[in-house]
Amino acid sequence: MRAIPLGGLGEFGMNMMAFEYGDHLVVVDCGVMFADAELPGVDIVIPDITYLRENKHRLRAILLTHGHEDHIGALPYVLEELDTPVYGTAFTLALARAKLDDSGVSEGVELRKMEPGVPFDLGPFHVEFIHLTHSIIQAGALALTTPVGTVIHTGDFKLDPTPTDQHVSDLHTLADYGRKGVLALFSDSTNVERPGMTPSERAVRERFEEIISGAKGRVFISCFATSMHRMQIVTDLAREYGRRLCFVGRSMFQNSEIAQEMGVLRIPPGLLIPPQDLRSLPRNKALIVLTGSQGEPMAALSRVAVDSHRWVSVEPGDDVVVSARIIPGNEKSIFRMIDHLCRRNARVHYHDGGQPPVHVSGHGSVEELKLMLNLVRPKYFIPIHGEYRQLYRHVEMAKELAAVSGKTFLLESGDVLEFDGQGARKNGRVPVGRVCIDVGTLDEVGDVILKERRHISEDGIVIPILAINERTGELEAPPEIVSRGFVPLDQAQDLVESARQVILKTIEKSNVEEVGDWGVIKEKIRTALRRHFDQETGKRPMILPVILEV
Amino acid sequence: MRAIPLGGLGEFGMNMMAFEYGDHLVVVDCGVMFADAELPGVDIVIPDITYLRENKHRLRAILLTHGHEDHIGALPYVLEELDTPVYGTAFTLALARAKLDDSGVSEGVELRKMEPGVPFDLGPFHVEFIHLTHSIIQAGALALTTPVGTVIHTGDFKLDPTPTDQHVSDLHTLADYGRKGVLALFSDSTNVERPGMTPSERAVRERFEEIISGAKGRVFISCFATSMHRMQIVTDLAREYGRRLCFVGRSMFQNSEIAQEMGVLRIPPGLLIPPQDLRSLPRNKALIVLTGSQGEPMAALSRVAVDSHRWVSVEPGDDVVVSARIIPGNEKSIFRMIDHLCRRNARVHYHDGGQPPVHVSGHGSVEELKLMLNLVRPKYFIPIHGEYRQLYRHVEMAKELAAVSGKTFLLESGDVLEFDGQGARKNGRVPVGRVCIDVGTLDEVGDVILKERRHISEDGIVIPILAINERTGELEAPPEIVSRGFVPLDQAQDLVESARQVILKTIEKSNVEEVGDWGVIKEKIRTALRRHFDQETGKRPMILPVILEV
């Protein structure tokens, strides 16, 4: 058996791991990573699936541990190319289906339901889904049993002793596997830097109740649209405190519909109202759950903050809860949004360390990770889902315990880990990497294009243009120079003039063969101008000479 | 009297505030803000000083509360234009002088020493510097007394009960002012979101000692090069644990020299060694203090992390301490650096919530801010140094106390606050803003240039070029199209060809006047191509038509 992480090990997000035995290959999760300012014009990043493409005849299934974007977000791109059934719990599949529908690639895709306590076979793999608590419902681990032994992949988890739906993690099944003997444990490393236990989702209820019970105006609560736990908490509190409930924002509305249909979000009749009806509702009777907890400029809360939402507005004294962690890279937009809400004299509650918390993590902290290791007590241990320092720390932590009877392996995406009767060992690498996607177009954004964008965004671009007579090889007009993002050339006539002289001198000094070879002459002009601009302005714009045959 | 924040209120950094009385104007602090990916090619941001420029005949002095970049960093740019003496404590002035020397603008600048207990007059302003603890030494508040009353500007502060140099905040002088009556308090809001008290700098010593006493290899400690507290702690621990001390990185070396000369950093003879001598020193005898705590790519620790430093390298088992907070925007580079250090099997200690902390804040938390208010008990209160939500929260906090006898004002940069016998009120605004500076060139980077860079970085640039015969007005050659950061045109010949057709059709459809007016024809081509590319690719590159007269 071989385990091959294709994403998510040594990087944050785009989780994907292949397990193969003989002629059979199954993939666990298929996620995206969100892009940031380091990747201009890129919206999401998906794993390079060259390896799966080359082995598609062996691909038996994609198994989903839960429905978060970093676990299912790449499905539309992968299923466009690869034809394989997708397994997941009912809620995970509902989210996956909505995503595939949106991308127009759902046709012909086979979605198969997976349930705790109902194991099934995929060729040599005996697959069991084991429920674990997480910030999304119906999440869990996968136990894959092959002739060489059982591996357990935890997905993302915490061990919440008091989940809002009372559906605690299935510790018994983990213990059973542990007693029978587990070959390898692949375990979530996201919160390995946090000591102790992650607080229960119940802590958020306490804070919400405190805020709602004391609220005199509207209460706005923004959270991830996949957080059924919080949507249920808010629903229950709306009923208890005599407020009407309103979902605002496309994904919030869509997911609440899906969840209600499936019976995983229970809303008493008459509680829910559409956003249009908010205006006629007294302000102290409204409880609004909305998208935009990351300050996304087009999402509901950001619009409300600048008073540009069609149906909803905030007024002095309203309470606004941003119930999410601040994803690194989003600080500026989130705090800008909070500043706007403060300007409107709203009381803003955000994740600032205040207790009880407005947000708790969905990932287990150190003590939960230790408990997982002690329950499963595998022969081999491999930390997953984390940047290098987190994987490193998880390995260090595991070494302190007596849980691992064999070895721990620190794998990064692309490393191949091989298991057989003799043991386990790293054995080679497969191609992996990041594919940048422009969501607007579903196009891949290549490395060269990104490099060009980054270069231009640093110091701008200068385009010197030469019209050369194709018969005589003579310049037909003085060189033209245009630029963008560089210095304002209309205020720098001296610089333009001196650059023209540099170009003319470069051409003069070149011999006939060189002038005839426009590749050479362009390169010489580029070099000369680069030096010239560096001297004159200290800047290094991209220089793109163009020669026009006339 | 009027108080006019010119920077730092409603934004993070570039602190600067003007106080004026009659014909006299003094400025407190002169700081920068650091740029991020939202401002490509920009290194720092300084306040727009239009107001000071227009009132330079009234400018009497710049008073510095302490030597951090967000309080002194804009001096080279401001003093290039404005001729005024600069007041600060000895250490603050030493840092200012080094900065002015580096920028080549120190000539003729008058630096005047300011000391606690030695008040002085600037026209109608009676100025007293009051020592307060902060992460940098010789920091403090300013009391400015005018005929209309005393205002106190806290600068940045915490109330550390056990500072490493035993030099506690001068609470007595604050109390004296409070008893006599203070017109207005302007107080630091940086940590208003943190409950309780900020831990003492002493907490860092405990952690450092724990790490150094248990270390088997080299110990690297990276902190801000202005943190004399930590440099002294490390020096003391080096002596106690029989290690030699080495400063690595230009600013670390420069500042330690300045501080030693001034007697504010005390290093026993023979303890210090130059980086070149590290190689011959046993690894368990080295304690290295170096720059790069923010993951700056050219700084010492980043170089060590990728093993490209000339003198210094890290080996398995060495301890590396990143003793600084993670400034938002720097997460990626810091964690990338930590990942590299983990790959080299260093034990990395960073600010992850572990106790005792490797870093403590230099700014007071809520209880310290309350104490400041209760000591000074001003008539008017104005929070400073914070983003809008922080100023808002500071106002809310102040309202809970009985300390403010008059009113609190929430000012943003540019607001004018007027004081007279009748009271205080907001009265108008002055021009403020951000000036983006490219440090390499000291040039201002204009808004237009930044907008161009951002536009190009999103979807690239396309340059259609037309050679038109200046006599006949006819095209001399088919339109040329080049691009960068857009789709790779060499792989999209269809797109190039269709774009050419769009250009030709646009020209055909234009009448003679339009073709004669190249501004019009360029705009028509731009519009037509924008629509064409949007339809064909979903992208909106910058389009820059060029017409060449031949």
Q: Can you give the three-state secondary structure of A300-355, one letter per residue? A: HHHHHHCCCCCCCCCCCCCEEEECCCCCCCCHHHHHHHHHHHHHCCCEEECCCCCC
Per-residue model confidence (pLDDT) at position B187: 98
What is the band of A499 on the pLDDT scale with cuts at 50, 70, 90?
very high
Residue A248 · residue A289 · CB < 8 Å = yes
Residue of A nearest to B193 (CA): A352
A440 chain-B contacts, CB cut-off 8 A = 538-539
Residue A36 · residue B330 · CB < 8 Å = no
User: What does pTM read for this prediction?
Assistant: 0.87
The Cα–Cα gap between A341 and A437 comes to 33
Per-residue model confidence (pLDDT) at position B388: 97
Q: How many CA atoms lie within 13 A of B188 on its CB side?
A: 30
Per-residue model confidence (pLDDT) at position A309: 94
Residue B334 scores a pLDDT above 70: yes
- Strands A44-47 vs A434-438: parallel, antiparallel or unpaired: antiparallel
Per-residue model confidence (pLDDT) at position B441: 63
Q: Is B542–A484 a contact, with Cβ atoms under 8 angstroms apart?
A: yes
Per-residue model confidence (pLDDT) at position A451: 84
Q: Is B548–A477 a contact, with Cβ atoms under 8 angstroms apart?
A: yes
Q: Is A548–B461 a contact, with Cβ atoms under 8 angstroms apart?
A: no
Q: How many CA atoms lie within 13 A of A475 on its CB side?
A: 16
Per-residue model confidence (pLDDT) at position B315: 96
Q: Smallest Cβ distance to B449: which of A339, A463, A488?
A: A488
Residue of A nearest to B393 (CA): A342
SS3 A362: coil
Residue A489 scores a pLDDT above 80: no
> B228-240 vs B250-262: helix axis angle to the nearest 10?
80
Enumerate the H helices of B118-249 as residue ranges.
171-180, 202-214, 228-240
Q: Smallest Cβ distance to A449: which of B450, B460, B482?
A: B460
A494 compared with B390, residue with greater pLDDT = B390
Instruction: Name residues whose C-beta falls within 8 Å of residue A317's C-beta, 6 or more positions apart in sequence.
Output: A216, A217, A345, A346, A347
**How far is B458 from chain A, CA to nearest CA, in Å?**
4
The Cα–Cα gap between B188 and B157 comes to 7
**How far is A82 from chain B, CA to nearest CA, in Å?**
24
Give buried/exposed letters for A375-388 (b at 16+ CB in 10 A, else e).
Answer: bbbbbbbbbbbbbb
The Cα–Cα gap between B211 and B194 comes to 27
Q: Which two tokens stand for residue A85?
A: 């059934």
Nearest C-alpha neighbor of B522 from the set B547, B485, B504: B547
Residue of A nearest to B475 (CA): A550
SS3 B62: strand
What is the band of B442 on the pLDDT scale with cuts at 50, 70, 90?
low
A542 chain-B contacts, CB cut-off 8 A = 484
Task: List, in sequence order, every beta strand (DSSP E) within B380-460.
Answer: 380-384, 415-420, 423-429, 434-438, 443-445
Q: Please, which residues bridge with residue B347 across strands?
A: B319
Nearest C-alpha neighbor of B20 from the set B152, B130, B125, B154: B125
Residue A530 scores a pLDDT above 70: yes
Nearest C-alpha neighbor of B154 from the set B433, B362, B427: B362
Q: Is B453–A438 a contact, with Cβ atoms under 8 angstroms apart?
A: no
Torsion angle of the four alpha carbons A417, A419, A424, A427, in this order, in degrees rounded to the nearest 10: -40
Which string of DSSP letters, residue by residue, matches A443-474? EEE-HHHHHHHHHHHHH-EEEEEEEE-TTT--
Per-residue model confidence (pLDDT) at position A99: 93
Q: Is A452–B484 a contact, with Cβ atoms under 8 angstroms apart?
A: yes
Residue B473 scores a pLDDT above 80: no
Residue of A nearest to B477 (CA): A550
Per-residue model confidence (pLDDT) at position B457: 84
CA distances (Å), A114 to each of A70, A87, A127, A189, A259, in order? 19, 6, 9, 25, 17
Cα A262–chain centre separation: 26
Q: If residue A510 lies in a helix (H) or strand (E), which one and from where to where?
A: none
Q: Which residues of B are catalytic?
A: 188, 363
Q: Which two tokens stand for residue A423?
A: 């043991």
Q: Is A446–B488 a contact, with Cβ atoms under 8 angstroms apart?
A: yes
Per-residue model confidence (pLDDT) at position B237: 98
Q: Is B441–A537 a contact, with Cβ atoms under 8 angstroms apart?
A: yes
Instruction: Using the structure block, give the residue that is written with the tokens 């300045």.
Output: B258
The Cα–Cα gap between A157 and A140 comes to 7
Q: Which two tokens stand for residue B320?
A: 């590396």
B392 chain-A contacts, CB cut-off 8 A = 342
Per-residue model confidence (pLDDT) at position B402: 94
Q: Is B549–A453 a contact, with Cβ atoms under 8 angstroms apart?
A: no
Residue A136 · residue A227 · CB < 8 Å = yes
What is the band of B345 on the pLDDT scale with cuts at 50, 70, 90?
very high
A194 chain-B contacts, CB cut-off 8 A = 352-353
Per-residue model confidence (pLDDT) at position B478: 87
Q: How many CA atoms lie within 13 A of B42 on its CB side?
A: 26
Q: Which two tokens stand for residue A205?
A: 């209820």
Give residue-wise pLDDT tens across range A221-265.
999 999 999 999 999 999 999 999 999 999 999 999 999 999 999
| CA dihedral sign of residues B196, B198, B202, B206 | positive
Mean pLDDT over residues A357-377, rounded? 97
Picking from A11, A327, A366, A389 by the largest number of B CB atoms within 10 A of its own CB, the best residue to mutate is A389
Q: Is B485–A389 a contact, with Cβ atoms under 8 angstroms apart?
A: no
The Cα–Cα gap between B342 and A396 comes to 11
Picking from B331, B442, B465 by the largest number of A CB atoms within 10 A of its own CB, the best residue to mutate is B465
Q: Smallest Cβ distance to A352: which of B36, B193, B446?
A: B193
Per-residue model confidence (pLDDT) at position A170: 98
Instruction: Name residues whose C-beta falls within 8 Å of residue B389's C-beta, 6 or more positions apart in sequence.
Output: A335, A338, A339, A342, A348
What is the band of B321 on the pLDDT scale with cuts at 50, 70, 90?
very high
Cis check: omega of the bond before B161, within 30 degrees of 0: no
Give me Rg for the CA atoms of chain A: 29
* Distance between first and last Cα of chain B: 65
Active site residue A363: yes
Mean pLDDT over residues B156-164, rounded? 96
Q: Which two tokens stand for residue A304?
A: 């409300």
Q: Smallest Cβ distance to B537: which of A36, A353, A441?
A: A441
The Cα–Cα gap between B268 and B235 comes to 9
- In this structure, what are the phi and psi dihedrals at residue A115, rounded to the nearest 5 degrees? -135, 150
Q: Can you give the three-state secondary structure of A47-103, one letter per residue? A: ECCHHHHHCHHHEEEEECCCCCHHHHCCHHHHHHHCCCCEEECHHHHHHHHHHHHHH
B542 chain-A contacts, CB cut-off 8 A = 484
- In this structure, what are the phi and psi dihedrals at residue A535, rounded to the nearest 5 degrees? -65, -45
Residue of A nearest to B351 (CA): A193
Which string of DSSP letters, residue by residue, matches B355-380? SS-S---SS--HHHHHHHHHHH--SE
The Cα–Cα gap between A242 and A286 comes to 9
Residue B489 scores a pLDDT above 80: no
The Cα–Cα gap between A489 and A498 comes to 12
A193 chain-B contacts, CB cut-off 8 A = 352-353
The Cα–Cα gap between A233 and A221 comes to 11
Percent residues over pLDDT 70 in chain A: 99
**How far is B238 from chain A, CA to nearest CA, in Å?**
28
Q: In the structure, how many helices (H) and strands (E) does chain A have?
A: 16, 27
Instruction: Name residues whose C-beta falls within 8 Å of residue A322's C-beta, 6 or more positions apart in sequence.
Output: A222, A293, A301, A334, A338, A348, A349, A350, A351, A358
Q: Is B544–A467 a contact, with Cβ atoms under 8 angstroms apart?
A: no
Q: Smallest Cβ distance to B484: which of A332, A443, A544?
A: A544
Q: Is B441–A538 a contact, with Cβ atoms under 8 angstroms apart?
A: yes
Q: Is B467–A550 a contact, with Cβ atoms under 8 angstroms apart?
A: yes
Q: Give me the domains of chain A, ranges plus CATH numbers.
A: 2-196+361-438 (3.60.15.10), 203-349 (3.40.50.10710), 460-549 (3.10.20.580)
Q: Smallest Cβ distance to A476: which of B387, B453, B550?
A: B550
Picking from B342, B443, B496 by the largest number of A CB atoms within 10 A of its own CB, the best residue to mutate is B342
Give residue-wise pLDDT tens across range A11-46.
999 999 999 999 999 999 999 998 777 777 788 899
Residue of B nearest to A389 (CA): B339
A452 chain-B contacts, CB cut-off 8 A = 460, 484-485
Q: How many CB atoms lie within 10 A of CB B234?
A: 26
Residue B86 · residue B94 · CB < 8 Å = no
Instruction: Name residues whose C-beta falls within 8 Å of residue A527's C-beta, 6 or more positions apart in sequence.
Output: none
Per-residue model confidence (pLDDT) at position A418: 98
Nearest C-alpha neighbor of A419 from the set A141, A122, A149: A149
Residue of B nearest to A388 (CA): B339
B550 compared with A434, residue with greater pLDDT = A434
The Cα–Cα gap between A295 and B451 comes to 21
Percent residues over pLDDT 70 in chain B: 99
Residue B147 scores a pLDDT above 70: yes
B484 chain-A contacts, CB cut-off 8 A = 452-453, 456, 461, 542, 544
* Distance between first and last Cα of chain A: 65
SS3 A282: coil
CA distances (Å), A174 to each of A163, B150, B180, in order? 18, 69, 70
Residue of B nearest to A390 (CA): B339
Residue A379 scores a pLDDT above 90: yes
